[in-house]
Protein backbone atom coordinates (compact mmCIF):
# COMPACT_ATOMS: atom_id res chain seq x y z
CA UNK A 1 0.00 0.00 0.00
CA UNK A 2 2.72 2.49 0.90
CA UNK A 3 4.36 1.82 -2.46
CA UNK A 4 1.14 3.06 -4.13
CA UNK A 5 1.40 6.51 -2.54
CA UNK A 6 3.01 9.22 -4.68
CA UNK A 7 6.41 10.56 -3.67
CA UNK A 8 5.55 14.19 -3.16
CA UNK A 9 9.04 15.63 -2.82
CA UNK A 10 9.41 19.02 -1.17
CA UNK A 11 11.36 21.42 -3.40
CA UNK A 12 11.91 25.16 -3.35
CA UNK A 13 10.85 25.49 0.28
CA UNK A 14 13.24 26.53 3.05
CA UNK A 15 13.29 27.08 6.79
CA UNK A 16 15.66 29.83 7.93
CA UNK A 17 16.91 31.19 11.23
CA UNK A 18 17.61 34.91 10.80
CA UNK A 19 19.45 37.37 12.96
CA UNK A 20 16.92 40.18 13.31
CA UNK A 21 18.90 42.59 15.42
CA UNK A 22 21.74 42.72 17.89
CA UNK A 23 23.16 45.02 20.48
CA UNK A 24 25.86 44.76 23.12
CA UNK A 25 23.61 42.79 25.47
CA UNK A 26 21.71 40.39 23.21
CA UNK A 27 20.73 39.15 19.76
CA UNK A 28 17.19 38.67 18.48
CA UNK A 29 16.52 35.62 16.26
CA UNK A 30 13.45 34.59 14.25
CA UNK A 31 12.57 31.46 12.29
CA UNK A 32 11.00 31.88 8.84
CA UNK A 33 9.37 29.67 6.24
CA UNK A 34 10.44 30.73 2.73
CA UNK A 35 8.36 29.76 -0.31
CA UNK A 36 10.76 29.88 -3.28
CA UNK A 37 8.12 28.34 -5.56
CA UNK A 38 6.24 30.16 -8.30
CA UNK A 39 2.95 28.94 -6.84
CA UNK A 40 1.26 29.34 -3.46
CA UNK A 41 1.27 26.67 -0.80
CA UNK A 42 -1.88 26.19 1.25
CA UNK A 43 -3.05 24.77 4.59
CA UNK A 44 0.47 25.09 5.93
CA UNK A 45 1.26 23.45 9.27
CA UNK A 46 4.58 23.71 11.07
CA UNK A 47 5.50 22.01 14.34
CA UNK A 48 8.68 22.93 16.13
CA UNK A 49 10.60 21.38 18.98
CA UNK A 50 14.08 21.23 20.41
CA UNK A 51 15.81 18.20 21.86
CA UNK A 52 19.25 16.97 22.76
CA UNK A 53 21.76 16.97 25.56
CA UNK A 54 22.88 19.99 27.54
CA UNK A 55 25.31 19.86 30.47
CA UNK A 56 25.07 16.05 30.48
CA UNK A 57 21.27 15.96 30.77
CA UNK A 58 18.60 15.18 28.18
CA UNK A 59 16.59 18.28 27.33
CA UNK A 60 13.31 18.66 25.42
CA UNK A 61 11.47 21.87 24.65
CA UNK A 62 7.72 22.22 24.25
CA UNK A 63 6.22 21.31 20.89
CA UNK A 64 4.77 24.40 19.22
CA UNK A 65 2.30 24.30 16.34
CA UNK A 66 1.76 27.00 13.74
CA UNK A 67 -0.83 27.22 10.97
CA UNK A 68 -1.05 29.46 7.91
CA UNK A 69 -3.94 29.40 5.41
CA UNK A 70 -1.60 30.15 2.48
CA UNK A 71 1.84 31.46 1.66
CA UNK A 72 2.17 33.33 -1.61
CA UNK A 73 4.78 32.44 -4.22
CA UNK A 74 8.22 33.99 -3.75
CA UNK A 75 7.41 35.11 -0.20
CA UNK A 76 8.06 34.21 3.41
CA UNK A 77 6.25 33.93 6.76
CA UNK A 78 7.49 34.41 10.27
CA UNK A 79 7.12 31.13 12.19
CA UNK A 80 8.41 32.05 15.64
CA UNK A 81 11.15 33.72 17.65
CA UNK A 82 13.93 31.38 18.77
CA UNK A 83 16.09 31.67 21.87
CA UNK A 84 19.86 31.51 21.44
CA UNK A 85 20.03 29.07 24.37
CA UNK A 86 18.44 26.37 22.17
CA UNK A 87 21.20 26.55 19.52
CA UNK A 88 23.04 23.75 21.36
CA UNK A 89 20.05 21.45 20.73
CA UNK A 90 18.55 19.86 17.63
CA UNK A 91 15.89 22.35 16.48
CA UNK A 92 13.33 20.45 14.41
CA UNK A 93 10.66 21.97 12.16
CA UNK A 94 8.18 19.59 10.58
CA UNK A 95 6.38 21.20 7.66
CA UNK A 96 3.19 20.00 5.92
CA UNK A 97 1.35 21.82 3.15
CA UNK A 98 -0.90 21.34 0.14
CA UNK A 99 -0.54 22.27 -3.50
CA UNK A 100 -3.95 21.61 -5.01
CA UNK A 101 -5.04 18.22 -3.65
CA UNK A 102 -1.49 16.93 -3.08
CA UNK A 103 0.03 16.97 0.38
CA UNK A 104 3.75 17.48 1.01
CA UNK A 105 5.75 17.17 4.21
CA UNK A 106 9.36 17.36 5.31
CA UNK A 107 11.44 17.62 8.49
CA UNK A 108 14.05 20.35 8.69
CA UNK A 109 16.59 19.92 11.51
CA UNK A 110 19.13 22.52 12.59
CA UNK A 111 21.82 20.44 14.28
CA UNK A 112 23.49 21.59 17.51
CA UNK A 113 25.84 24.53 16.97
CA UNK A 114 24.91 24.84 13.25
CA UNK A 115 23.50 28.34 13.76
CA UNK A 116 26.88 30.09 13.86
CA UNK A 117 28.44 33.03 12.00
CA UNK A 118 30.52 30.68 9.78
CA UNK A 119 27.31 29.25 8.28
CA UNK A 120 25.58 32.60 7.66
CA UNK A 121 24.33 33.58 4.24
CA UNK A 122 22.20 36.49 3.09
CA UNK A 123 18.74 34.93 3.24
CA UNK A 124 16.72 35.23 0.02
CA UNK A 125 13.75 37.62 0.19
CA UNK A 126 14.33 38.30 3.90
CA UNK A 127 17.66 40.05 3.18
CA UNK A 128 19.06 39.35 6.62
CA UNK A 129 21.99 37.20 7.74
CA UNK A 130 21.13 33.70 8.86
CA UNK A 131 21.22 29.96 8.30
CA UNK A 132 18.87 28.23 5.84
CA UNK A 133 17.92 24.61 5.14
CA UNK A 134 16.25 23.69 1.84
Residue pLDDT, tens place only, 44-57: 999 999 999 988 89
- Enumerate the domain spans of the chain: 2-133
What three-state secondary structure class fits 119? helix
Phi, psi for residue 56 in degrees, rounded to 5: 80, 5
Average pLDDT over residues 74-85: 96
* pTM of the shown model: 0.93
pLDDT, tens only, 85-129: 999 999 999 999 999 999 999 999 999 989 999 999 999 999 999
Does the structural domain 2-133 have CATH classification 2.60.40? yes
Does 1 have pLDDT greater than 90?
Answer: no
Amino acid sequence: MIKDLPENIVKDIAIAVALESENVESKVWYVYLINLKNEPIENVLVTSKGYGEKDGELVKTSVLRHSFPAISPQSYKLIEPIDEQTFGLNNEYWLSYYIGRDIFDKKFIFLPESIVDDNFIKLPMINKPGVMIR
